Structure 1
Amino acid sequence: MKIIIDAGHGPETAGKRSPDGVLREFHFNSAVANLVKHYLIEEGLSIFFAHDERKDVPLSERTAYANNLNADAFISIHANAHGSDWNQANGIETYAYSAARQESLVLAALVQQSLITACKRADRGVKKADFAVLRDTRMAAVLIECGFMTNREEAALLRDKAYQQQCAKAISFAITAWVYQGKK
């Protein structure tokens, strides 16, 4: 079983930070991605990264890599934002492609429920979108938003190692459950 973990965006992607500039989205995304990889390797799964810690990788390269590898799942990890100023938007949401296959919808539901149970944040639900990493991959694919960088409380959580670990464990648990239930 080959799982692609994608720390969304890149270390230098413009605008992907909290309003005060303290949190860059990629720092959260890559920290959680590294933890997810660790937990899933312990489960015996083969884990590959679509991102690079040193540079921004175009979305087309990320999806081509996953497709060429013939991966079973693509998991893109993100922190959300609503505008560019502090506001009250909050919670966790998980996306599947707008015309997703059933296995993506099942994976998205498992990830969302696991994150809500573990992190105790507002449940924004499973949603559908036409994001490139969901549309252009040929395997089950989800994009996860683990909280809002534009919400002061959640921005503090996103910087917190314990919260990063909660997110990673929840995501890993959901992926493992999906794998062992036969990707139904």
Structure 2
Amino acid sequence: MKIILDAGHGCSTPGKRSPDGMREYEFNRAVASLAKEMLGKYQNTEVFFAHSDERDVPLAERTSLANNQNADCYVSIHANAYGTGGWNSAGGIETYVYPSKPREALALAQKIQRNLISSTGLRDRGVKTADFHVLRETKMTAVLVECGFMTNKEEASLLRTPLYRKRCAQAIVKAIAEQYGLRKNDKIKQYKVQVAFPEKQLAEKLAGNLKKDGFNATIIE
């Protein structure tokens, strides 16, 4: 399964920052990176980024990348804003789908919204519709999530924290896994250490210590 994660905007996008200077992309990118790492623990998944740290990738380029990859799912990650640049009381989380409400996209959006509200405790602004480019021009299931308001002083403080970013990533990944029935990898990579001794007694002593610490140890002559 191919998943596209899109951290909205870019590091230098004009105006996309909190009243005290936090760039929206800083939050978006962190959540996308965490989500990619988490999705890597599931079977048969490939995760691609539509964004770049080097520039604000044009929307048409983002959706073309997703379409060319024949992706199954596109999730655009954002922090919200309201007003003319100052602090205000608008707050909460909302998730968007295209106005035609594609069945799979709506189901995924509902799962993301539910999981985010459960994990963050913020106000539930619901699943909404919008004619956003990334929802309109993608050929696959696509949703856009607003993970809190950077123009709300309390929520902006949360958006800065590693814990909140991790919770948002976990909620998004959990929803994707639920929607598509993803299963975690059950094979844990094993690393081996080989040590040689001139005397068997020394080998037996080390093997015994390793076993006491819970490791499997085998002596080969």
TM-score (norm 1): 0.96
Change (3 A) 1:114 1:177: same
**CA–CA distance in 1 between the matches of 2:120 and 2:58?**
30
**Pairwise mapping of residues 8-157 of structure 1 onto structure 2 (< 5 A)?**
8-21=8-21, 23-44=22-43, 45-83=45-83, 84-157=85-158
1:52 & 1:100 partners in 2: Cα distance? 29
Residue identity opposite 2:39 in structure 1? L
**Structure 1 stretch 160-169 or stretch 98-107: which is displaced more?**
98-107
Give, in whole Å, the separation in 1 of the partners of 2:150 and 2:119.
19
Of the structure 1 ranges 96-105 and 162-171, higher mean CA displacement relative to structure 2 is found in 96-105
What SS does structure 1 have at the residue aligned with 2:125?
strand
Aligned partner letter, 1:156 = S
What is the Cα deviation at residue 37 of structure 1?
0.1
Give the distance between the partners of 2:53 and 2:108, measured in 1 at CA.
Answer: 26
Q: 1:33-84, CA deviations, whole angstroms, 9 ceiling, x for partnerless residues?
A: 0000000011131100000012110000000000011100000000000021
Gaps of 5+ in 1: none
Q: Which residue is 1:176 aligned to? A: 177
Q: Secondary structure of 1:42's match? A: coil
Supply the AA of the counterpart residue of 1:36.
Answer: A
Q: Residue type matched to 1:12 in 2?
A: S
Task: State the Cα RMSD in Å.
Answer: 0.9
Q: Distance in 2 between matches of 1:19 and 1:92?
A: 19
Which of these two proteins has the greater Rg computed from alpha carbons?
2
Deviations 1:13-39 (A, max 9, x none): 100000121x10000000000000000
Give CA-to-partner distance per residue, 1:78-124, whole Å, 9 cap, x none: 00000211000000000001113101000100100010011110000
Q: For 1:65, give the aligned amino acid.
A: L
Q: Secondary structure at the match of 2:107?
A: helix
Q: Write out the 4+ residue segments of structure 1 that deviate beyond 6 Å after TM superposition.
A: none
After TM superposition, the score normalised by the length of structure 2 is 0.80
In structure 2, stretches of 5+ residues that fail to align are 183-221
- Report how many residues are paired: 180
| Equivalent residue number for residue 5 of structure 1 | 5
CA distances 1:2-22 after superposition (whole Å, capped 9, x unpaired): 00000001111100000121x
Higher strand share: 1
Write the distance in 2 (CA, Å) between the matches of 1:140 and 1:100: 10
Q: Which amino acid aligns with 1:60?
A: A
